[in-house]
Copies of this chain bind each other. A is one copy, B any other.
Amino acid sequence: MPRRSQAERSAATQAKLLDAALDCLVECGYARTTTTVVARRAGVSRGAQLHHYPTRTALVAAAVEHLFARLTRDYQDGFAALPPQADRLRAGIDLLWSVMSAPHYPAAVELFTAARTDDDLRAHLTPIAARHQANVAHLARAYFPAAARRGARFDAALAMILDAMQGMASARVIARGGPDEAARVATLHDIAAHLIDPAGLTEARA
């Protein structure tokens, strides 16, 4: 690797650090995600780590931003790839759940839990989370225009479905992917149909 530009070098180390931080959050949890461990896992010296992210909070905040950017892309791509068939609503639910089942998602849970009692971290995370939520809501409205016309009711339904998935993700801590997880997703399908599209005339031709 001769003659890498500064920008390339920076980007490479930062990417290594952020991925390592996410891995570490998933594997070890927030408490044991120390700057030392992250640097070692990233194969980067501690000096370099501190150069790019001067504090631990800065590091994990950047990591979650990195993660959410990826999640937003996943949502976007997923929605764009939704089949234009009769069960789009169903497919949309499955998409949401699949993204929230991503391997790195527990890192977000770790950080938001920690943010509850860490003002600094919360200040970093609040705007990131708000932006992400807005993105998802925007995408959902864009891809289900007919249902979105129901306005607040649609928004409430979406919020509820996301809450439920968030709860399911939390529950995984204890019972990882139990057999009844599928049943719960099925219930969500049912609910979505009831709340968003009670008449049964789906968004097939949207």
Stretch at the interface among A9-17, A41-49, A116-124: A116-124
* Given A160-B191, A184-B159, A173:B115 Cβ within 8 A: yes
Q: Which of A169-205 contact B (CB under 8 A)?
A: 170-171, 173-174, 180, 183-184, 186-188, 190-191, 194-195
Cα–Cα distance between A103 and B27 once the two chains are bound (Å) = 29
Interface of A is mostly: helix
Does A92 lie at the interface of the complex (its beta carbon under 8 Å from any beta carbon of B)? Answer: no
- Determine the interface band of chain A, counting residues with CB < 8 A from chain B: 35 or more
* Given A27-B117, A31-B30, A112:B159 Cβ within 8 A: no
* Given A125-B174, A167-B170, A191-B191, A29:B113 Cβ within 8 A: yes
Name the one of B116, B174, B183 contacting A115, with C-beta atoms under 8 angstroms: B174
* Given A166-B171, A187-B156, A187-B160, A116:B122 Cβ within 8 A: no
Nearest B residue (CB) for A127: B174
- Contact partners of A116 in chain B: CB under 8 A: 29, 106, 110, 173
Cα–Cα distance between A27 and B118 once the two chains are bound (Å) = 10
- Contact partners of A31 in chain B: CB under 8 A: 30-31, 114
Copies of this chain in its oligomeric complex: 2
Does A157 lie at the interface of the complex (its beta carbon under 8 Å from any beta carbon of B)? Answer: yes
* Given A156-B183, A160-B191, A195-B190, A114:B29 Cβ within 8 A: yes
What string of 1s and 0s marks CB contacts (under 8 Å) between A148-173 and chain B? Answer: 00001000110110111111101101
Taking the closest CB of chain B, its distance from the CB of A41, in whole angstroms, is 15
Interface residues of A (CB under 8 A from B): 27-32, 106, 109-110, 112-118, 122, 125-126, 129-130, 152, 156-157, 159-160, 162-168, 170-171, 173-174, 180, 183-184, 186-188, 190-191, 194-195
